[in-house]
Amino acid sequence: MESDDRRQRCPLNRDQVLYLDGPLGRSRVEIAGQGARIATSPCPEQRCVLQGWIRRQGEVAACLPNHLVLRIEGGSETVDALSR
């Protein structure tokens, strides 16, 4: 999880609620059920909130107006499709 100059790693196997301050105000991040989401944000369009839960390695949720990025790292990669 990144917010301006702050970078933090949080395990997905422990439910928690985090509050992160950005240039627009405070965003609420929830970690539960092996996933994470931006639950509330002061941004005008709320696209980050509507994105919902991210759970798989490589998935990202971002609130660009409030300078907040969530990224799932580690774990095992999953394959969505194969092509030859």
Q: Please give the CATH superfamily to which domain 2-71 belongs.
A: N-utilization substance G protein NusG, insert domain (2.60.320.10)
Kindly list the domain boundaries of the chain, sorted by start residue: 2-71
pTM of the predicted model, to two decimals? 0.82
Model pLDDT for residues 63-74, shown as the tens digit of each residue? 999 999 999 998
CA separation (Å) from 14 to 37, 67, 76, 78, 83? 14, 24, 18, 22, 36
Strand 25-32 and strand 35-40: the pairing is antiparallel
Model pLDDT for residues 10-40, shown as the tens digit of each residue? 899 999 999 999 999 999 999 999 999 999 9
